[in-house]
């Protein structure tokens, strides 16, 4: 099992689920959040596609799921920024974080599925415009949360403008802003302005090795902005099925999953694994048999490196 001190940032490992916010059966998505919470996972996340009629509204779903759970953190994966104005989004996230006792994070994306966005009355942006808008939005969101600044918030952007917005409420804990990103320009934005990076394995065109160059874009931008690469947590949305015999990546017994995910953590600095799961048994096995084993393997490898 290999590692590189420049890529493994030593973060505590987090494990969670990525739940489809289906509205039929009406409580299914919430029940999956409860399963993840009771199983001891760190995080439950939901897609945010407001233009899909068969899905619950994710912002409302997060609030309902927060009320039904006790320990687990919750996030959109990822928030559809073009349909959620940033100043209002900031207040919504802060409110839910306060009400839930500090259990809400902000996964956010620049936007996709523009026909659906435009059909709901949102803007249709080019890739460059969507990244500009995201950077403006992150500045506004952080500004609303910054209640230590007694002045009103004014931001003049190309896509968003706020003129004298009052700040607050402040979240109950330092909410992570985690960006879904793949291309160099938005990865550099992650390095400059975000707290985390949230890609999905199925969108890596060249597979896991592509993470090396993507990490480099983030790290270089972080350093150029006076930040440490360690300031940005690296997540990965994953898919898989358990089987008695191995037949591919995350297609095998829990012990195989553990070895493979530990290798990803140590090789690419990934410290948060979020499993697409709408099944209680899949979630429970991931929590009970995979997560502890990955943590043990990574801890052993890190300890060996420090003492080697």
Q: How far is CA 209 from the centre of its chain?
A: 20
pLDDT of residue 307: 56
pLDDT of residue 5: 42
- Calpha distance 295→291 (Å, rounded): 6
pLDDT of residue 2: 45
Q: Which of 229, 228, 227, 240 is nearest to 200 (CA)?
A: 240
Length of the chain: 308
Domain residues of the chain, as ranges?
A: 14-253+269-278
Q: What is the mean pLDDT of each run of 10 residues along the chain (308 residues)?
A: 64 98 98 98 98 98 98 98 98 98 98 96 97 98 97 96 96 98 98 98 96 98 98 98 96 98 98 98 98 98 75
pLDDT of residue 7: 84
Quick one: fold of 14-253+269-278?
TIM Barrel (3.20.20)
pTM for the model stands at 0.95
- Calpha distance 43→14 (Å, rounded): 8
pLDDT of residue 304: 85
């Amino acid at each position: 099992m290999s590692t590189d001190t420049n890529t493994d940032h030593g973060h505590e490992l987090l494990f969670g689920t990525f739940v489809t916010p289906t509205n039929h059966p009406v409580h299914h998505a919430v029940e999956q959040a409860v399963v993840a919470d009771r199983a001891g996972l760190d995080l439950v996340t939901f897609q945010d596609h407001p233009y899909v009629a068969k899905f619950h509204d994710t912002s409302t779903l997060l609030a309902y799921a927060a009320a039904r759970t006790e320990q687990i953190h919750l996030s959109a994966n990822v928030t559809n920024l073009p349909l959620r104005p940033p100043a209002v989004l900031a207040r919504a996230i802060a409110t839910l974080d306060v009400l839930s006792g500090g259990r809400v994070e902000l996964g956010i994306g620049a936007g996709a599925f523009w026909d659906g966005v435009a059909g709901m009355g949102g803007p249709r942006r080019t890739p460059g415009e969507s990244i500009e808008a995201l950077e403006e939005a992150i500045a506004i969101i952080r500004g609303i949360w910054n209640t230590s600044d007694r002045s009103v918030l004014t931001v003049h952007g190309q896509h968003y403008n706020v003129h004298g917005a009052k700040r607050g409420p402040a979240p109950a804990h330092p909410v992570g802003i985690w960006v879904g990103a793949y291309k160099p320009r938005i990865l550099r934005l992650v390095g400059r302005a975000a707290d985390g990076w949230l890609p999905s394995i199925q969108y890596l065109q060249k597979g896991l090795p592509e993470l090396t160059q993507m990490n480099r874009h983030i790290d270089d931008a972080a350093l150029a902005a006076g930040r440490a690469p360690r300031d940005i947590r690296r997540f990965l949305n994953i898919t898989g099925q358990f089987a008695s015999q191995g037949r591919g990546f995350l297609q095998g017994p829990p012990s195989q999953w553990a070895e493979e995910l530990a290798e990803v953590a140590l090789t690419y600095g990934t410290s948060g694994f979020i499993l697409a799961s709408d099944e209680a048994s899949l979630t429970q096995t991931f929590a009970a048999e995979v997560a502890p084993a990955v943590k043990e393997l990574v801890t052993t490898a890190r300890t060996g490196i420090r003492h080697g």
